[in-house]
């Protein structure tokens, strides 16, 4: 007779589920667009909830739309050990970012069912609302409310670019639950995710044990110049908001390069006003995302951004307003959870390395409240937030096996 250590997930079933979910919001280039709280997000949630019910789970939701799918434990009064991630995507998202961590959780439950394994503590699969921050900034907003990093009212009142609020959209798709966000007791949280970077592929390793996440600061920047005729206004004396923005975009790149190798800086969204071919742009709004594993360095990068903006404003006769909309400090994961994952890697015979997450994850929020750890698996070329995002079925299965054995250790499992 086998032992619990011999149990493995069904990698083909995991892959099939990923491919089925990827049909919701499918894009022509092979990726997905399921922006948070759109009809596509609702369809993805509906499919997940149906699959969880078919696997015998009980569903609850909180007032940020976070979904908890519970498989009872032998001692059902114990707080559950949770696994999960997000189902929302970037506008040009892939098939794996977030959805892998959710469906890997479902595959763990299905595998436990197949093998008739009961756990001491209940286990839960969690879907966190609006992880990406692509539709409603900031990112990780619902795991952030859960972990006490954002106020509920602040989160529900975030608006998308058309002025629709997160709270209204949550109600519209029918996922505003009753439970207070954060009231749900969790014993531990594990998230498996594609790496979204090149390290595991380069090192030819199937598994990364993530020891923490880097710090980040997000800004909304507005540059105000003056609309004027593109033909009749001499070059001297123009107050061209877009030309000033161009210089500031390059300054963001330079600021990050000064913190090589870990500093990163991105201008990802930009709106030009009036956006007419023959009017000198009088206004530009854009976003800045600065990150580094060391919080003091991110602070320094933010100071450098403000200094460069002040200089450009003076040189070019424009006004630059910089609002810091989010500061997310670096985070360290829980040593006991990491230990459970190291044991899992040993049991499974997977070579692995420690790493810091470059991307933000719900786990980075959860870690501020609940013992938390993360597992990474390689993705092709390290590419993510791209329709071409790709991962090997066997690596996805390996990460899911890590999740299974991590959860079994944390939930003190037993065979029937
Ligand atoms: C989310 O994907 C982030 O890291 O911004
Ligand atoms: Mn993600
Ligand atoms: Mn993402």
Which is nearest to 48 in space by CA: 12, 77, 22?
A: 22
The model's confidence at residue 2, banded by pLDDT at 50, 70 and 90, is confident
The model's confidence at residue 150, banded by pLDDT at 50, 70 and 90, is very high
Atom of ligand 1 nearest to the CA of 90: 2
Give Cα 392 distance to the centre of its chain. Answer: 20
Q: What is the pTM of this model?
A: 0.94
Q: Ligand 1 within 6 A of 290 CB? A: no
**Mean pLDDT score across all residues of the chain:** 97
Domain ranges of the chain: 4-214+330-414, 215-328
- In tens, the pLDDT along 15-43 reads 999 999 999 999 999 999 999 999 999 99
Please tell me the predicted confidence (pLDDT) of residue 160: 98
Q: Ligand 1 within 6 A of 99 CB? A: no
Please tell me the predicted confidence (pLDDT) of residue 114: 98
Atom 3, ligand 1: residue with shortest CA distance: 360
Atom of ligand 1 nearest to the CA of 98: 2
4-214+330-414 with 215-328: one CATH topology?
no
Query: How many Å lie between the centroid of ligand 1 and the Cα of residue 361?
Result: 7
CA dist 253 and 246 (Å) reads 11
Give Cα 202 distance to the centre of its chain. Answer: 23
Instruction: Please say if the pLDDT value at position 413 is more than 80.
Output: no
Query: How many Å lie between the centroid of ligand 3 and the Cα of residue 334?
Result: 22
Q: Ligand 1 within 6 A of 359 CB? A: yes
Atom 5, ligand 1: residue with shortest CA distance: 360
Query: How many Å lie between the centroid of ligand 3 and the Cα of residue 385?
Result: 6
- In tens, the pLDDT along 302-360 reads 999 999 999 999 999 999 999 999 999 999 999 999 999 999 999 999 999 999 999 99
Please tell me the predicted confidence (pLDDT) of residue 1: 58
CA dist 94 and 276 (Å) reads 33
CATH of domain 4-214+330-414: 3.40.630.10
Please tell me the predicted confidence (pLDDT) of residue 415: 62
Please tell me the predicted confidence (pLDDT) of residue 416: 61
**Encoding tokens for residue 305?**
């951004």
CATH of domain 215-328: 3.30.70.360
- In tens, the pLDDT along 156-207 reads 999 999 999 999 999 999 999 999 999 999 999 999 999 999 999 999 999 9
- In tens, the pLDDT along 105-143 reads 999 999 999 999 999 999 999 999 999 999 999 999 999
**Encoding tokens for residue 175?**
């996922």
Question: What radius of gyration, in Å, describes the C-alpha atoms of the chain?
Answer: 23
Pick from 89, 139, 293 the residue to mutate for probing ligand 1's pocket: most ligand atoms within 8 Å of its CB: 139
**Encoding tokens for residue 177?**
């639950």
Segment 86-102 shows an average pLDDT of: 98
């Amino acid at each position: 007779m086998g032992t619990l250590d011999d149990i493995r997930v069904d990698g083909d079933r995991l892959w099939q589920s990923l491919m089925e979910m990827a049909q919701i919001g499918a894009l022509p280039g092979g990726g997905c667009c399921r922006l948070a709280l759109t009809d596509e997000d609702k369809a993805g949630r509906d499919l997940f909830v149906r699959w969880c019910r078919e696997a015998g789970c009980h569903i609850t939701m909180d007032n940020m739309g976070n979904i908890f799918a519970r498989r009872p434990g032998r001692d059902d009064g114990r707080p559950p050990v949770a696994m999960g991630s997000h189902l929302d995507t970037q506008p040009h998202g892939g098939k794996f970012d977030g959805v892998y961590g959710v469906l890997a959780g479902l595959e763990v439950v299905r595998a436990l069912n197949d093998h008739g394994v009961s756990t001491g503590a209940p286990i839960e699969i969690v879907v966190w609302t609006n992880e990406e921050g692509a539709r409603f900034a900031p990112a990780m907003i619902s795991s952030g409310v859960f972990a006490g990093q954002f106020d509920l009212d602040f989160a529900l009142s975030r608006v998308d670019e058309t002025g629709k609020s997160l709270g209204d959209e949550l109600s519209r798709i029918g996922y505003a639950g009753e439970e207070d966000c954060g009231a749900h007791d969790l014993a531990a949280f594990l998230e498996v995710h594609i790496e979204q970077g090149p390290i595991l592929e380069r090192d030819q390793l199937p598994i990364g044990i993530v020891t923490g996440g880097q710090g980040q600061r997000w800004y909304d920047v507005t540059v105000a110049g003056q609309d004027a005729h593109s033909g009749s206004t001499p070059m001297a004396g123009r107050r061209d908001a877009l030309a000033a923005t161009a210089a500031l975009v390059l300054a963001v790149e330079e600021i990050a390069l000064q913190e090589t190798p870990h500093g990163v800086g991105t201008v990802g969204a930009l709106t030009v006003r009036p956006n007419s071919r023959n009017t000198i742009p009088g206004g530009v709004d854009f976003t800045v995302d600065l990150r580094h594993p060391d919080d003091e360095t991110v602070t320094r990068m933010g100071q450098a951004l403000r200094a460069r903006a002040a200089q450009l404003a003076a040189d070019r006769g424009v006004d630059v307003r910089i609002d810091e909309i989010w500061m997310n400090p670096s985070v360290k994961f829980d040593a006991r959870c990491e230990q459970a994952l190291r044991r899992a890697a040993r049991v499974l015979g997977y070579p692995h390395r420690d790493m810091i997450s470059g991307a933000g994850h719900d786990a980075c929020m959860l870690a501020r409240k609940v013992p938390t750890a993360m597992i990474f698996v390689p993705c092709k070329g390290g590419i993510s937030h791209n329709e071409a995002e790709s991962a090997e079925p066997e690596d996805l299965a390996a990460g899911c096996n890590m999740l299974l054995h991590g959860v079994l250790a944390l939930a003190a499992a037993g065979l029937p």
